[in-house]
Structure 1
Amino acid sequence: MRCLRKPPYWLSGVLGVAVLTALFAGRAPGAEETKDPATAPPAAAAASNDTDALVERGRYVALAGNCASCHTRPGGAPYAGGVKFESPVGTLYSSNITSSVAAGIGKWTAEDLRRALHEGVAADGYRLFPAFPYTSFTQMTDEDVAALYAYMRTVAADDYRPPANDFVFKLRWGMVVWNALFFEPARFKPDPQQTPEWNRGAYLVDALGHCGACHTPRNRFMAEMRDKAYQGGTLREYVTADKVRDWAAVNLTSSADGLKTWSVDDLTKYLHTGFSLRGGAWGPMNEVVANSTSKLTLEDARAMATYIKSLPPKSLPEGAEAITPVTPEQAALGQTIYHDRCEKCHGASGRGGMFSGPPLAGSAIVQSADPDSLINAVLYGATPAEGIKLGAWETMKPYADVLSDTDIANVANYVRGSWGNTAPPVDAARVAKQR
């Protein structure tokens, strides 16, 4: 899931997680007690029903925005924050966005939330980092913002206070300049030339789902390169403060190195269940599928797939075309390892099977110019998120303690240079960086 050109790593790590961390630093007043609709006058009952519908809509908006993944720490209360993020310049923790007045966003008004989502400015006036995808959320409709506010007021208050962020994450004045250069507030506008399904998918992907935050390359200032939208990007996972693991967010366009071989049905099933005959969810996509897309309606999952599959094919980021693909000689070095370790599940043809494993021929992860996700799969295995089933496929076991760096590079080159795949080669040094 990512790109050829890698942004400054210190910014990548910081911004990739600091944003949702900074989003809700205050709170919205707790919801007032409502009377039982069954005993309330008709007008009051109708108002209560309207409120319930608004809250339910807000709950769904929160799912589509995948708010839980960044704001719910393991073992913690929902949305109470405290998820720890490491970066080369320090540590930060996601904020508490429950209805707690003392520790959450219980004091936030509806306008506070709207301003944070649409303008990237928190309740007390400080600027949010673009890692919090207000650059996408700015497209949210006013109705969805109001619904989200109504829902967040109902989230059980929890007075947990995340640890203080390191000093560097308190320096926000530079965002004034960044916003002037790279951010333009704008609401989503349906395309009258497209179908309602396509427009719904565009809204979910571009605005609520903020898919471009991971799948679009960024420039040196960590702004999304709009002319290369959805062509893939680079993710950095800070396992510890000094241990980094890279991932490649795949090209989502229908190019050969992207989702060319995927159908709308394939992508719909993947988003809605975490599994299709083209691939299964694992790695960074686990949280997205488990906490967001799998909880959306089938109609919305299909709308997202419809929009994504409409993205015109785009080649890899600049310079990728000049990269020499794996040679037959390089591929041959990994053939025996593939036969012994991989062929049982992925097949001699690389096509996989319904009762064996996902296809490698034409795979976006296998063909990505950035091989890091493929390397991670071999090193650490491919395990779905809790509650996500990969159909009849077996979970891929890790080979970090079985194969050497050279072995992994060789087998990666075999699959990247076979069955029509034309990706650049991998060397042992690249594998070693991922250990």
Structure 2
Amino acid sequence: MNDMSDLRVCEIATLAACVIVDIDDDIATLAARMSLDAGVSWIAAGSMGAFVADEAQHAFDAARRLAAALAQPDAEASAIVTSRERLPHEKRYTWPLFDDALHACDVLARDDGTSIELRCATSDAQQLCAQLAHASGLPATRFAIRATSNIEDESFVATLAAVMLLHRTGRAVHVRGVMSARETKDVRMSLGASLDEAGHLNAWRYDADTGRSMHETSSEHTPNPYAVRDETLHTDDGFETIPHTAHAFARESFIDEIADARAIDPLQYRLAHLDPIDDAGARELIDTLADRASWTTKAKRAGNAKNLQGRGFAFDKRDDAYSAWIVDLDVNRATGDVAIQRVVAGSAKGRRSIGAIAGMSSARIAAAASKLIGVRLDAHAAHDETPRAQPLAHRIETTALQDTPATREAPSIDTSPAAAAIANALYDATGVRFRAPPFTPERVRDALNGASAPGNALPRRMRRTLRGAMAATGLGGLVALACTAWPLRAPIASIAKPDASTWSQATIARGRDVAAAGDCAVCHTAPGGAVNAGGLGLETPFGTVYTTNITPDEKTGIGNWSFAAFDRAMRQGISRDGHHLYPAFPYTSFAKISDADMTALYAYLMSQPAVESTPPQTRLPFPLNQRGLVAGWNALYLKQGEYVPDATRSALWNRGKYLVDGAGHCGACHSPRNAIGAEKGGRLYLTGGSAEGWMAPSLVANSKLPVRWTEQALFDYLRTGFSHEHGVAAGPMAPVVSHLATLPAEDVRAMAHYVASLSPVAVETRAPSQPDALRLHALDNGRRTFDAACAVCHAQTGGVGNFGVRPLLSLNTSVSDASPDNLLHVILHGIDAPATDELGYMPGFKDSFDDRQVAELAAYIRAEFAPREPAWSGLAQATARIRAAGH
């Protein structure tokens, strides 16, 4: 640490600290009276406490014991449970809600008598001082902060820990290592039941506890699809943090345990508790899956010396929709590895209806199972499945994650039964009941070796990771937020809507340009809706994502967002309330925007008219609807930090790159993406992608183009929506150009200059070849259609231009592209909303020509105007597809 070289080594206390944030009186009391190892002390200040020891392992072990104690039902919840009459069957389950992450931290603190000197990484020393003053009660002037870098590394928590230790120990403190955080406590679910003489459910009690005060809720929050005489439901999920999957896991595991205790087939036991009329659709689904899996006719697979075999079933109901899973798996006796062999899964809606049962994609099956057992899996339709998009039976195999294809499915088809089905299969195989996911090899191996399958203990994999991190830190201590509700994605307090007079008109005008470069209104305005009021459905390979209201409405928009909340959303993809935004919102690009431009953009949006409008909610299929998974995506693909100019390049080039990669986010459409939706960079950067059913062409050197993009051609196209060498902006690009046209010409020139620099080759115009006469003779129908409907504007010699510009098809990118989609879009739908008024419009022919005629016309245009390119195949089918997709 070069910046700390002036501090004498003897002043640095080698203290290992495991810090716990947001403690309350109960936690402090429990920690203080716990039996601690020699050399471990508990100290507390305000809302923070810490175990301190000479060795990091001792401090962390103490925190782990505290975590285990706190994971037990709290006194209030226990009082509620124990005060009720006990039922003959009672079990408890746990569902983890936390999202663990490790963050580096390095803070040195000392008190020189006049001030508390702190050396840490921070980008805003003044704000950090204010935070420390608020948390510690000391005046902000008491702190002297020297930033070691301007990269945030969870500086507030680590720095506050150092201040607290400094105050309590009276010694200089060096806190160095990693910090682990837990977002919230686990869900503890308690179930109880009594049975009548026939074994049917009589009384049913369900409690779900996240550690807050309990209150009774309606059955819609904790639904029980099974018929019972007396039902009592309680939950403390006022903040709706408990996922539906957790309720399904506890209920379906409990039902399985009851059936096992009575030696009743678990599938038949469920059928006996479903209404024959109201739940006819569910009964049909279960019967169908049972037949497909040979549940009743196939004997249980025999185990062998190496593996144990098991089979499990689980069912779920949400409103009038049902889903069910049957899982066959093997468990390695020695390693604990779980190998799922087959999954039979499906869904249905409403009452019994022939043909109403649907399967689900293999990719979704693999994704759900992978998450639950901690192993990357792939799935394929079973060999005895009739080929179709959504099979019922799937074979599973271990694979690399990147080989798993993406999927799009209706959110009503969920995978809620997956966790219970796997847990029930594990019990069938091992005789051990796992009452908390995930079912990792370590936990299964422990269970097979005689240990319990704890639902509340920290997973061994997490403990091993943390220990390894501590060992790697060398000197200093570990800051670990063990057993805490410290929110890595904490909500940011709302504010009163700022007045537009807060900012100068110049700042607002600058923000208007940033918004235009970023095409904010293009995505955040629904057809026929108010500007920026959201509601536009963006089609992605994973489902439809609806854009949000970014007008300054305090109820449905961002009117009560502080700049800090806005900045975090733009750079990190985290909303004001703390939930992750999907990467369909290109925050990976906006992270490169400068602070000044971000402030201007905020000022501009806050100065616009407020519109009260609630867009549709985005509902992606499981597990993509678990927004916490985006944190992992961000760890892989989100690179923080503003754009850093390249000193070896010109100012014009740097400005262009800043606009293209930052606010312009051109790569979002013009770069290909990988299987999990991240833009591909390197040699694939800006080499072409797709957006809203249109092909976004390559912006770099591409031999397929009749004429390479030049700086002037790019400037003309971006500025006016038309280039004589490449054609007219249509489809999703037209509204983009309409916004770019409002930017200063210099900015558009800079973008063109930068993009043109990516193709450092001599401009080569390919002279059009003469089309083969015999080839064209076979396309007479297309030629006649072209002469009648198109030649007036698009003849080789140039049309008369009655409707605006006259693009030459021999130079048009859509005609020479490998895919006919863009050309078919334009033929069918025309250009009714040109990028600029000067372009005029083009009529669409979807109501004039049928699919065969459009296909013949496209085939002729390809042969006539791009004779060097191979003929397109499947044009009639492609035409039907694009016609069905709409404009």
Q: 2:813 aligns with which of 341, 354, 364?
A: 364
Q: Deviations over 1:224-283 (max 9, x none)?
A: 1113111111223xxxxxxxxx21111112323348444323322222222343422221
Larger helix share, 1 or 2 = 1
Query: What secondary structure sits across from 1:80 in the alignment?
Result: coil
Query: What secondary structure sits across from 2:811 in the alignment?
Result: coil
Residue 27 (structure 1) shift: 6.7
Residue 201 (structure 1) shift: 1.4
Q: Partner amino acid for 2:580?
A: R
Q: TM-score, normalised by structure 2?
A: 0.39
The answer to whether the 8 Å contact 2:497/2:552 transfers is yes
- Unaligned 5+ runs, structure 1: 1-6, 12-24, 35-47, 237-245, 315-325
Structure 2 residue 747 is the aligned partner of structure 1 residue 300: yes
Q: 1:147 to 1:259 in 2, by over 3 A?
A: farther
Q: 1:204 to 1:259 in 2, by over 3 A?
A: farther
Which residue does the alignment assign to 2:857? Answer: 411
Residue 8 (structure 1) shift: 4.2
Which residue does the alignment assign to 1:10? Answer: 408
Structure 2 residue 714 is the aligned partner of structure 1 residue 267: yes
Provide the rounded CA distance (Å) in 2 between the counterparts of 1:193 and 1:357. Answer: 41
Residue 74 (structure 1) shift: 4.3
Q: Deviations over 1:278-314 (max 9, x none)?
A: 4222211122122x21111111111111122222279
The answer to whether the 8 Å contact 1:251/1:258 transfers is no
Which residue does the alignment assign to 2:655? Answer: 200
Following superposition of structure 1 onto structure 2, how do residues 68-217 of structure 1 map, counting pairs within 5 Å? Answer: 68-85=521-538, 92-166=545-619, 168=621, 170-217=625-672
Q: Partner amino acid for 1:273?
A: T
Q: Deviations over 1:121-179 (max 9, x none)?
A: 22222211111001211111122112212222222333322244436475312212222
Which residue does the alignment assign to 2:29? Answer: none
Provide the rounded CA distance (Å) in 2 between the counterparts of 1:96 and 1:82. Answer: 7
Q: Partner amino acid for 2:685?
A: A
Which residue does the alignment assign to 1:228? Answer: 684
The answer to whether the 8 Å contact 1:253/1:308 transfers is yes
Q: Deviations over 1:170-211 (max 9, x none)?
A: 531221222223332232122223221221111111111111
Which residue does the alignment assign to 1:63? Answer: 516
Query: What secondary structure sits across from 1:53 in the alignment?
Result: helix
Which residue does the alignment assign to 1:397? Answer: 843
Provide the rounded CA distance (Å) in 2 between the counterparts of 1:9 and 1:372. Answer: 21
Following superposition of structure 1 onto structure 2, how do residues 46-57 of structure 1 map, counting pairs within 5 Å? Answer: 51-57=504-510
The answer to whether the 8 Å contact 2:660/2:751 transfers is yes
Q: 1:89 to 1:142 in 2, by over 3 A?
A: closer
The answer to whether the 8 Å contact 1:26/1:106 transfers is no
Structure 2 residue 479 is the aligned partner of structure 1 residue 30: no
Q: Deviations over 1:342-363 (max 9, x none)?
A: 33322235x6687762011132
Structure 2 residue 793 is the aligned partner of structure 1 residue 345: yes
Q: CA RMSD in A?
A: 3.2
Which residue does the alignment assign to 2:697? Answer: 250
Of all paired residues, the percent bearing the same amino acid is 37
Query: What secondary structure sits across from 2:753 in the alignment?
Result: helix
Q: Partner amino acid for 1:203?
A: Y
Q: 1:367 to 1:352 in 2, by over 3 A?
A: farther
Provide the rounded CA distance (Å) in 2 between the counterparts of 1:107 and 1:356. Answer: 46
Provide the rounded CA distance (Å) in 2 between the counterparts of 1:190 and 1:196. Answer: 9
Query: What secondary structure sits across from 2:498 in the alignment?
Result: coil
Q: 2:823 aligns with which of 349, 357, 374?
A: 374
The answer to whether the 8 Å contact 2:796/2:810 transfers is no
Q: 1:399 to 1:98 in 2, by over 3 A?
A: closer
The answer to whether the 8 Å contact 2:500/2:603 transfers is no
Query: What secondary structure sits across from 2:837 in the alignment?
Result: coil
The answer to whether the 8 Å contact 1:251/1:257 transfers is no
Question: Which of these two proteins has the greater Rg computed from alpha carbons?
Answer: 2
Q: 1:26 to 1:402 in 2, by over 3 A?
A: farther
Provide the rounded CA distance (Å) in 2 between the counterparts of 1:433 and 1:343. Answer: 26
Q: 1:285 to 1:103 in 2, by over 3 A?
A: same
Following superposition of structure 1 onto structure 2, how do residues 319-330 of structure 1 map, counting pairs within 5 Å? Answer: none
Stretch deviating more after TM superposition (365-374 or 144-153): 144-153
Provide the rounded CA distance (Å) in 2 between the counterparts of 1:33 and 1:414. Answer: 57
Provide the rounded CA distance (Å) in 1 between the counterparts of 2:650 and 2:720. Answer: 25
Provide the rounded CA distance (Å) in 2 between the counterparts of 1:165 and 1:345. Answer: 43
Q: 1:400 to 1:154 in 2, by over 3 A?
A: closer
Q: 1:224 to 1:329 in 2, by over 3 A?
A: farther
The answer to whether the 8 Å contact 1:235/1:247 transfers is yes
The answer to whether the 8 Å contact 1:255/1:313 transfers is no
Q: 1:255 to 1:331 in 2, by over 3 A?
A: farther
The answer to whether the 8 Å contact 1:215/1:230 transfers is yes
Q: 1:217 to 1:164 in 2, by over 3 A?
A: closer
Provide the rounded CA distance (Å) in 2 between the counterparts of 1:228 and 1:328. Answer: 38
Provide the rounded CA distance (Å) in 1 between the counterparts of 2:759 and 2:796. Answer: 32
Provide the rounded CA distance (Å) in 1 between the counterparts of 2:652 and 2:625. Answer: 42
Q: 1:423 to 1:271 in 2, by over 3 A?
A: same
Q: 1:260 to 1:253 in 2, by over 3 A?
A: farther
Q: 1:266 to 1:70 in 2, by over 3 A?
A: same
Q: 1:285 aligns with which of 700, 720, 733?
A: 733
Q: 1:384 aligns with which of 833, 838, 847?
A: 833
Q: 1:194 to 1:260 in 2, by over 3 A?
A: farther
Residue 114 (structure 1) shift: 1.9
Stretch deviating more after TM superposition (50-59 or 162-171): 162-171
Count residues in correspondence.
378
Q: Deviations over 1:304-337 (max 9, x none)?
A: 11122222279xxxxxxxxxxx987655414444
Q: Partner amino acid for 1:381?
A: G
Q: Deviations over 1:355-382 (max 9, x none)?
A: 7620111321111112101111112223
Q: TM-score, normalised by structure 1?
A: 0.76
The answer to whether the 8 Å contact 1:361/1:420 transfers is yes
Provide the rounded CA distance (Å) in 2 between the counterparts of 1:402 and 1:74. Answer: 25
Provide the rounded CA distance (Å) in 2 between the counterparts of 1:172 and 1:419. Answer: 48
The answer to whether the 8 Å contact 1:26/1:105 transfers is no
Q: Partner amino acid for 1:282?
A: A
Residue 421 (structure 1) shift: 5.0
- Unaligned 5+ runs, structure 2: 1-404, 410-491, 762-770
Which residue does the alignment assign to 1:323? Answer: none
The answer to whether the 8 Å contact 2:815/2:866 transfers is no
Q: Partner amino acid for 1:305?
A: A
Q: 1:33 to 1:215 in 2, by over 3 A?
A: closer
